[in-house]
Protein backbone atom coordinates (compact mmCIF):
# COMPACT_ATOMS: atom_id res chain seq x y z
CA UNK A 1 0.00 0.00 0.00
CA UNK A 2 1.40 3.39 -1.02
CA UNK A 3 2.30 5.72 1.86
CA UNK A 4 4.36 8.75 0.88
CA UNK A 5 4.47 9.93 4.49
CA UNK A 6 5.71 6.68 6.05
CA UNK A 7 9.06 7.02 7.83
CA UNK A 8 12.13 5.53 6.16
CA UNK A 9 14.68 4.41 8.74
CA UNK A 10 18.47 4.20 8.58
CA UNK A 11 19.21 0.70 9.85
CA UNK A 12 22.90 0.44 8.95
CA UNK A 13 25.91 2.35 7.64
CA UNK A 14 29.10 1.36 5.88
CA UNK A 15 32.07 3.31 4.59
CA UNK A 16 35.61 3.16 3.30
CA UNK A 17 37.57 6.32 2.57
CA UNK A 18 40.98 7.90 2.83
CA UNK A 19 40.49 8.33 6.59
CA UNK A 20 39.41 4.79 7.43
CA UNK A 21 38.35 1.38 6.20
CA UNK A 22 35.13 1.29 8.21
CA UNK A 23 32.76 3.52 10.17
CA UNK A 24 34.69 3.30 13.45
CA UNK A 25 38.01 4.27 11.86
CA UNK A 26 36.45 7.19 9.99
CA UNK A 27 34.76 8.47 13.15
CA UNK A 28 38.06 8.33 15.01
CA UNK A 29 39.78 10.33 12.26
CA UNK A 30 36.97 12.91 12.21
CA UNK A 31 37.16 13.35 15.97
CA UNK A 32 40.93 13.68 15.95
CA UNK A 33 41.36 15.88 12.90
CA UNK A 34 43.26 13.38 10.74
CA UNK A 35 42.89 14.23 7.06
CA UNK A 36 43.41 11.57 4.38
CA UNK A 37 45.19 13.57 1.70
CA UNK A 38 48.76 12.82 0.66
CA UNK A 39 51.03 11.96 -2.24
CA UNK A 40 49.70 9.46 -4.78
CA UNK A 41 50.58 5.89 -3.92
CA UNK A 42 48.27 3.64 -5.91
CA UNK A 43 47.33 5.87 -8.86
CA UNK A 44 50.13 6.26 -11.39
CA UNK A 45 49.98 9.75 -12.86
CA UNK A 46 52.26 12.33 -14.41
CA UNK A 47 50.95 14.67 -11.70
CA UNK A 48 51.92 12.31 -8.89
CA UNK A 49 54.47 14.63 -7.29
CA UNK A 50 52.37 17.78 -7.73
CA UNK A 51 48.76 17.04 -6.84
CA UNK A 52 47.80 15.57 -3.45
CA UNK A 53 44.93 13.10 -3.44
CA UNK A 54 42.86 11.30 -0.81
CA UNK A 55 43.38 7.61 -1.60
CA UNK A 56 42.08 4.66 0.38
CA UNK A 57 45.15 3.27 2.13
CA UNK A 58 44.90 -0.23 0.65
CA UNK A 59 46.05 -1.73 -2.63
CA UNK A 60 43.73 -3.74 -4.84
CA UNK A 61 44.94 -7.08 -3.48
CA UNK A 62 44.27 -5.93 0.08
CA UNK A 63 40.86 -4.57 -0.88
CA UNK A 64 39.95 -7.84 -2.56
CA UNK A 65 40.86 -9.72 0.61
CA UNK A 66 38.83 -7.32 2.74
CA UNK A 67 35.87 -7.60 0.36
CA UNK A 68 36.11 -11.39 0.25
CA UNK A 69 36.48 -11.56 -3.53
CA UNK A 70 38.84 -14.08 -5.16
CA UNK A 71 39.42 -11.96 -8.27
CA UNK A 72 40.01 -8.25 -8.71
CA UNK A 73 37.56 -6.90 -11.29
CA UNK A 74 37.55 -3.18 -10.48
CA UNK A 75 38.82 -1.03 -7.64
CA UNK A 76 35.51 0.84 -7.76
CA UNK A 77 33.63 -2.42 -7.20
CA UNK A 78 35.95 -3.47 -4.39
CA UNK A 79 35.40 -0.21 -2.52
CA UNK A 80 31.66 -0.57 -3.03
CA UNK A 81 31.51 -4.12 -1.73
CA UNK A 82 33.55 -3.35 1.39
CA UNK A 83 31.26 -0.48 2.40
CA UNK A 84 28.00 -2.19 1.41
CA UNK A 85 28.87 -5.34 3.36
CA UNK A 86 29.55 -3.28 6.47
CA UNK A 87 26.26 -1.43 6.07
CA UNK A 88 24.31 -4.68 5.86
CA UNK A 89 26.21 -6.19 8.78
CA UNK A 90 25.44 -3.24 11.05
CA UNK A 91 21.78 -3.30 10.01
CA UNK A 92 21.42 -6.78 11.48
CA UNK A 93 18.46 -7.82 9.33
CA UNK A 94 18.14 -11.53 10.06
CA UNK A 95 15.39 -12.41 7.57
CA UNK A 96 16.65 -10.36 4.64
CA UNK A 97 16.16 -13.27 2.20
CA UNK A 98 12.44 -13.04 2.91
CA UNK A 99 12.32 -9.30 2.17
CA UNK A 100 12.23 -7.41 -1.10
CA UNK A 101 15.70 -5.90 -1.18
CA UNK A 102 17.20 -3.34 -3.54
CA UNK A 103 20.70 -2.11 -4.31
CA UNK A 104 20.98 1.43 -5.68
CA UNK A 105 24.58 2.40 -6.26
CA UNK A 106 26.06 5.57 -7.69
CA UNK A 107 29.30 5.91 -9.61
CA UNK A 108 30.85 8.16 -12.22
CA UNK A 109 34.04 6.16 -12.76
CA UNK A 110 32.69 2.63 -13.06
CA UNK A 111 35.42 0.17 -14.03
CA UNK A 112 37.50 2.83 -15.74
CA UNK A 113 40.54 2.04 -13.58
CA UNK A 114 40.92 -1.32 -15.31
CA UNK A 115 40.23 0.18 -18.75
CA UNK A 116 43.10 2.62 -18.28
CA UNK A 117 45.45 -0.24 -17.49
CA UNK A 118 44.38 -2.02 -20.67
CA UNK A 119 45.02 0.96 -22.92
CA UNK A 120 48.43 1.66 -21.38
CA UNK A 121 49.60 -1.74 -22.59
CA UNK A 122 47.55 -1.83 -25.81
CA UNK A 123 48.74 1.54 -27.13
CA UNK A 124 52.36 0.55 -26.71
CA UNK A 125 51.78 -2.79 -28.47
CA UNK A 126 48.37 -3.68 -29.93
CA UNK A 127 49.06 -7.37 -29.34
CA UNK A 128 49.11 -6.69 -25.62
CA UNK A 129 46.52 -5.67 -23.05
CA UNK A 130 43.93 -7.87 -21.39
CA UNK A 131 40.48 -7.37 -22.88
CA UNK A 132 38.88 -8.75 -19.72
CA UNK A 133 39.98 -5.50 -18.07
CA UNK A 134 37.48 -3.49 -20.13
CA UNK A 135 34.34 -5.63 -19.79
CA UNK A 136 33.34 -3.91 -16.54
CA UNK A 137 34.04 -0.39 -17.80
CA UNK A 138 30.48 0.94 -17.74
CA UNK A 139 28.97 2.11 -14.47
CA UNK A 140 26.13 -0.41 -14.30
CA UNK A 141 28.52 -3.34 -14.49
CA UNK A 142 30.12 -2.33 -11.19
CA UNK A 143 26.70 -2.18 -9.53
CA UNK A 144 25.79 -5.61 -10.85
CA UNK A 145 29.07 -7.15 -9.66
CA UNK A 146 28.43 -5.93 -6.13
CA UNK A 147 24.73 -6.83 -6.15
CA UNK A 148 25.65 -10.38 -7.14
CA UNK A 149 28.19 -10.60 -4.33
CA UNK A 150 25.54 -9.37 -1.87
CA UNK A 151 22.92 -11.77 -3.31
CA UNK A 152 20.54 -8.88 -3.97
CA UNK A 153 18.24 -9.51 -6.92
CA UNK A 154 14.90 -7.74 -6.37
CA UNK A 155 15.79 -4.24 -7.53
CA UNK A 156 19.16 -3.09 -8.91
CA UNK A 157 19.97 0.20 -10.58
CA UNK A 158 22.81 2.67 -11.04
CA UNK A 159 22.74 6.45 -10.62
CA UNK A 160 25.30 8.66 -12.37
CA UNK A 161 24.58 12.36 -11.96
CA UNK A 162 28.13 13.47 -11.14
CA UNK A 163 28.69 14.65 -7.57
CA UNK A 164 25.02 14.41 -6.57
CA UNK A 165 24.83 10.73 -7.57
CA UNK A 166 24.88 9.11 -4.11
CA UNK A 167 22.37 11.53 -2.66
CA UNK A 168 20.02 10.78 -5.55
CA UNK A 169 20.54 7.05 -4.99
CA UNK A 170 19.58 7.40 -1.34
CA UNK A 171 16.39 9.31 -1.86
CA UNK A 172 15.37 7.08 -4.77
CA UNK A 173 15.66 4.23 -2.28
CA UNK A 174 13.39 6.06 0.14
CA UNK A 175 10.81 6.64 -2.59
CA UNK A 176 10.83 2.95 -3.51
CA UNK A 177 10.16 1.99 0.10
CA UNK A 178 7.40 4.57 0.48
CA UNK A 179 5.77 3.29 -2.69
CA UNK A 180 5.84 -0.30 -1.41
CA UNK A 181 8.15 -1.52 -4.18
CA UNK A 182 10.83 -2.82 -1.81
CA UNK A 183 11.26 -3.31 1.95
CA UNK A 184 15.01 -2.74 2.23
CA UNK A 185 17.46 -0.73 0.12
CA UNK A 186 21.24 -0.54 0.28
CA UNK A 187 21.87 2.91 -1.19
CA UNK A 188 24.92 5.09 -1.68
CA UNK A 189 27.85 5.23 -4.04
CA UNK A 190 31.43 4.44 -4.94
CA UNK A 191 34.27 5.89 -7.01
CA UNK A 192 37.95 5.09 -7.31
CA UNK A 193 40.80 7.32 -8.41
CA UNK A 194 41.52 7.30 -12.14
CA UNK A 195 43.80 9.29 -14.40
CA UNK A 196 40.83 10.29 -16.56
CA UNK A 197 39.03 12.08 -13.72
CA UNK A 198 42.21 13.60 -12.31
CA UNK A 199 43.24 14.93 -15.71
CA UNK A 200 39.72 16.19 -16.40
CA UNK A 201 39.48 18.20 -13.19
CA UNK A 202 43.03 19.43 -13.67
CA UNK A 203 42.09 20.68 -17.15
CA UNK A 204 39.27 22.67 -15.53
CA UNK A 205 42.01 24.28 -13.36
CA UNK A 206 40.14 23.55 -10.11
CA UNK A 207 42.58 21.09 -8.49
CA UNK A 208 44.56 22.35 -5.50
CA UNK A 209 48.31 21.69 -5.36
CA UNK A 210 48.04 21.99 -1.58
CA UNK A 211 45.54 20.48 0.84
CA UNK A 212 42.15 22.02 0.02
CA UNK A 213 40.61 24.84 2.09
CA UNK A 214 36.84 24.92 1.51
CA UNK A 215 35.05 28.15 2.44
CA UNK A 216 38.37 29.96 2.93
CA UNK A 217 38.77 33.36 1.26
CA UNK A 218 42.04 32.12 -0.27
CA UNK A 219 40.79 28.72 -1.43
CA UNK A 220 42.47 27.38 -4.54
CA UNK A 221 40.46 24.30 -5.54
CA UNK A 222 39.68 20.72 -4.58
CA UNK A 223 41.60 17.55 -3.80
CA UNK A 224 40.24 14.44 -5.48
CA UNK A 225 39.50 11.42 -3.31
CA UNK A 226 38.06 7.94 -3.53
CA UNK A 227 35.90 5.68 -1.42
CA UNK A 228 32.40 4.35 -0.92
CA UNK A 229 29.54 5.01 1.49
CA UNK A 230 26.18 3.27 1.91
CA UNK A 231 23.18 3.38 4.19
CA UNK A 232 20.62 0.63 4.65
CA UNK A 233 17.13 2.07 4.34
CA UNK A 234 14.21 0.10 5.76
CA UNK A 235 10.47 0.53 6.04
CA UNK A 236 8.80 1.15 9.39
CA UNK A 237 7.56 -2.45 9.36
CA UNK A 238 11.08 -3.83 8.97
CA UNK A 239 12.46 -1.37 11.53
CA UNK A 240 9.99 -2.68 14.11
CA UNK A 241 11.42 -6.20 13.75
CA UNK A 242 15.07 -5.29 14.36
CA UNK A 243 16.82 -5.98 17.67
CA UNK A 244 18.59 -2.64 17.49
CA UNK A 245 15.70 -0.30 16.81
CA UNK A 246 16.75 2.47 14.38
CA UNK A 247 16.42 6.01 15.72
CA UNK A 248 17.34 7.97 12.59
CA UNK A 249 15.16 8.58 9.55
CA UNK A 250 15.65 10.15 6.15
CA UNK A 251 13.11 12.89 6.70
CA UNK A 252 13.67 15.10 3.67
CA UNK A 253 15.15 15.06 0.20
CA UNK A 254 15.03 17.08 -2.98
CA UNK A 255 16.75 17.30 -6.35
CA UNK A 256 16.82 20.47 -8.45
CA UNK A 257 18.65 21.39 -11.62
CA UNK A 258 19.32 25.00 -12.58
CA UNK A 259 21.11 23.86 -15.80
CA UNK A 260 23.33 26.94 -15.56
CA UNK A 261 26.56 25.47 -16.92
CA UNK A 262 28.14 22.12 -17.80
CA UNK A 263 30.56 22.20 -14.86
CA UNK A 264 29.93 25.38 -12.85
CA UNK A 265 27.27 26.29 -10.29
CA UNK A 266 25.09 29.33 -10.89
CA UNK A 267 26.56 32.39 -9.13
CA UNK A 268 23.34 33.00 -7.20
CA UNK A 269 23.17 29.36 -6.10
CA UNK A 270 19.62 28.89 -7.36
CA UNK A 271 19.97 25.11 -7.74
CA UNK A 272 21.46 24.79 -4.26
CA UNK A 273 18.69 26.93 -2.80
CA UNK A 274 15.93 24.94 -4.50
CA UNK A 275 17.43 21.62 -3.31
CA UNK A 276 17.78 22.74 0.30
CA UNK A 277 14.40 24.47 0.52
CA UNK A 278 12.72 21.50 -1.19
CA UNK A 279 14.25 19.06 1.29
CA UNK A 280 13.05 21.20 4.19
CA UNK A 281 9.54 21.27 2.74
CA UNK A 282 9.58 17.49 2.28
CA UNK A 283 10.66 17.02 5.90
CA UNK A 284 8.11 19.51 7.23
CA UNK A 285 10.91 21.53 8.83
CA UNK A 286 11.87 25.18 9.00
CA UNK A 287 15.42 26.45 8.36
CA UNK A 288 15.90 27.11 12.08
CA UNK A 289 15.24 23.41 12.81
CA UNK A 290 18.51 22.36 11.15
CA UNK A 291 21.34 21.83 13.65
CA UNK A 292 24.18 21.04 11.24
CA UNK A 293 24.88 21.37 7.53
CA UNK A 294 27.39 19.01 5.96
CA UNK A 295 28.41 21.36 3.17
CA UNK A 296 29.14 20.22 -0.36
CA UNK A 297 32.16 22.48 0.19
CA UNK A 298 34.61 21.41 -2.50
CA UNK A 299 37.05 24.29 -2.08
CA UNK A 300 36.64 25.71 -5.58
CA UNK A 301 36.00 29.42 -6.04
CA UNK A 302 32.70 28.82 -7.83
CA UNK A 303 31.17 26.11 -5.67
CA UNK A 304 31.74 27.67 -2.28
CA UNK A 305 30.37 31.11 -3.10
CA UNK A 306 27.34 29.60 -4.88
CA UNK A 307 26.54 27.26 -1.97
CA UNK A 308 27.24 30.00 0.56
CA UNK A 309 24.97 32.46 -1.26
CA UNK A 310 22.15 29.92 -1.22
CA UNK A 311 22.66 29.26 2.50
CA UNK A 312 22.59 32.99 3.21
CA UNK A 313 19.33 33.34 1.29
CA UNK A 314 17.67 30.43 3.07
CA UNK A 315 19.00 30.63 6.63
CA UNK A 316 19.71 34.33 7.28
CA UNK A 317 19.92 35.53 10.02
CA UNK A 318 20.01 32.28 12.03
CA UNK A 319 22.73 29.97 10.75
CA UNK A 320 23.23 26.39 11.92
CA UNK A 321 26.69 24.98 12.53
CA UNK A 322 28.27 23.75 9.34
CA UNK A 323 31.45 22.29 7.88
CA UNK A 324 32.87 20.54 4.83
CA UNK A 325 34.14 17.04 5.57
CA UNK A 326 35.85 17.03 2.17
CA UNK A 327 38.69 18.60 4.15
CA UNK A 328 39.18 15.03 5.44
CA UNK A 329 38.20 12.77 2.54
CA UNK A 330 38.82 14.93 -0.50
CA UNK A 331 36.09 15.14 -3.12
CA UNK A 332 35.03 11.55 -3.76
CA UNK A 333 32.78 12.50 -6.69
CA UNK A 334 29.81 10.12 -7.05
CA UNK A 335 30.62 8.58 -3.66
CA UNK A 336 30.54 11.88 -1.76
CA UNK A 337 26.81 11.91 -0.99
CA UNK A 338 26.97 8.36 0.41
CA UNK A 339 30.08 9.02 2.47
CA UNK A 340 28.64 12.26 3.84
CA UNK A 341 25.31 10.57 4.57
CA UNK A 342 27.24 8.24 6.89
CA UNK A 343 28.88 11.28 8.48
CA UNK A 344 25.46 12.89 8.95
CA UNK A 345 24.24 9.78 10.77
CA UNK A 346 27.36 9.84 12.97
CA UNK A 347 26.71 13.49 13.88
CA UNK A 348 23.19 12.57 14.99
CA UNK A 349 24.26 9.44 16.87
CA UNK A 350 27.13 11.04 18.76
CA UNK A 351 26.03 14.67 19.12
CA UNK A 352 29.09 16.05 17.32
CA UNK A 353 29.86 18.63 14.65
CA UNK A 354 32.89 17.93 12.50
CA UNK A 355 35.53 20.61 11.86
CA UNK A 356 36.18 22.38 8.58
CA UNK A 357 39.93 21.76 8.57
CA UNK A 358 42.48 24.37 7.47
CA UNK A 359 39.97 27.25 7.49
CA UNK A 360 42.18 30.30 8.06
CA UNK A 361 40.49 33.33 6.49
CA UNK A 362 36.66 33.35 6.35
CA UNK A 363 35.05 34.34 3.06
CA UNK A 364 34.41 38.09 3.11
CA UNK A 365 31.17 37.83 1.11
CA UNK A 366 29.46 35.49 3.57
CA UNK A 367 28.06 36.39 7.01
CA UNK A 368 28.81 32.99 8.55
CA UNK A 369 31.92 30.92 9.29
CA UNK A 370 32.03 27.11 9.27
CA UNK A 371 33.24 25.36 12.42
CA UNK A 372 37.02 25.26 12.72
CA UNK A 373 37.18 22.78 15.60
CA UNK A 374 35.32 19.66 16.66
CA UNK A 375 32.15 20.43 18.62
CA UNK A 376 31.11 17.68 21.04
CA UNK A 377 28.22 16.98 23.38
CA UNK A 378 25.66 19.06 21.49
CA UNK A 379 22.08 18.23 20.64
CA UNK A 380 21.81 17.33 16.97
CA UNK A 381 18.31 16.45 15.79
CA UNK A 382 18.35 17.40 12.11
CA UNK A 383 21.30 17.32 9.68
CA UNK A 384 21.22 18.73 6.16
CA UNK A 385 23.67 17.10 3.73
CA UNK A 386 24.39 18.84 0.42
CA UNK A 387 25.62 17.24 -2.82
CA UNK A 388 25.83 19.47 -5.86
CA UNK A 389 27.00 18.09 -9.21
CA UNK A 390 28.00 19.10 -12.70
CA UNK A 391 25.30 20.35 -15.02
CA UNK A 392 23.53 22.06 -12.11
CA UNK A 393 22.26 18.77 -10.64
CA UNK A 394 21.79 19.66 -6.97
CA UNK A 395 20.49 17.38 -4.20
CA UNK A 396 19.97 17.81 -0.48
CA UNK A 397 19.13 15.17 2.12
CA UNK A 398 17.87 15.69 5.69
CA UNK A 399 18.53 13.08 8.35
CA UNK A 400 16.59 13.35 11.61
CA UNK A 401 16.72 11.69 15.01
CA UNK A 402 13.37 10.55 16.40
Which of 137, 212, 296, 394 is an active site residue?
296
| 151 annotated active-site | no
- Residue burial 160-183, b: 16+ Cβ < 10 Å; e: rest: bbbbbbbbbbbbbbbebbbeeebb
Do 34 and 106 lie in a common domain?
A: yes
- Per-residue model confidence as pLDDT tens digits over 16-67: 999 999 999 999 999 999 999 999 999 999 999 999 999 999 999 999 999 9
The CATH number covering residue 172 comes to 3.40.47.10
| C-alpha separations of 188 from 16, 173, 219, 359, 364 in Å | 12, 9, 28, 28, 35
- Of 186, 221, 239, which one is at a domain's C-terminal end? 239
Q: What is the pLDDT of residue 262?
A: 64
Q: How far apart are CA 55 and CA 63, in angstroms?
A: 12
Determine, yes or no, domain membership for 157: yes
- Per-residue model confidence as pLDDT tens digits over 365-377: 999 999 999 999 9
Domain that holds residue 75: 9-239
| 318 annotated active-site | no
Dump strand ranges (E) for 60-209. Answer: 101-106, 155-159, 184-191
Q: How far apart are CA 109 and CA 341, in angstroms?
A: 20
Q: C-alpha angle 94/183/282, rounded to 5°?
A: 130
What number of other Cβ atoms are within 10 A of residue 244's Cβ? 11
What number of other Cβ atoms are within 10 A of residue 257's Cβ? 17
Do 123 and 255 lie in a common domain?
A: no
Which of 163, 212, 254, 394 is an active site residue?
163
- The total number of structural domains in the chain stands at 2
Does the structure show a pLDDT above 60 at 1?
Answer: no
- Of 221, 239, 257, which one is at a domain's C-terminal end? 239
pTM: 0.96
Which of 137, 331, 382, 394 is an active site residue?
331
- Per-residue model confidence as pLDDT tens digits over 109-167: 999 998 888 888 888 888 888 777 788 889 999 999 999 999 999 999 999 999 999 99
Q: Which of 291, 311, 290, 308 is CA-nearest to residue 299?
A: 308
| 394 annotated active-site | no
Amino acid sequence: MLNNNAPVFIAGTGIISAIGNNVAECLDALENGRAGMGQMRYLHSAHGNRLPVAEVKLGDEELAQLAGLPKIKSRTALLSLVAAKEALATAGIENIKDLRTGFISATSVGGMDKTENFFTEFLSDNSKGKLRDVINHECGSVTELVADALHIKDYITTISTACSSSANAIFLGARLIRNNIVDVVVAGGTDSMTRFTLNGFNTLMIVDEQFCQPFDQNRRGLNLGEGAGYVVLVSDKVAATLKNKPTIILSGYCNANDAYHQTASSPDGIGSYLAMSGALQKAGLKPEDIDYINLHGTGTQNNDIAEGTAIKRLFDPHYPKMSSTKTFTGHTLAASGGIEAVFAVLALQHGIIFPNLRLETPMVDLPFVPERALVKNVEVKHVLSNSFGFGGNCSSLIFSKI
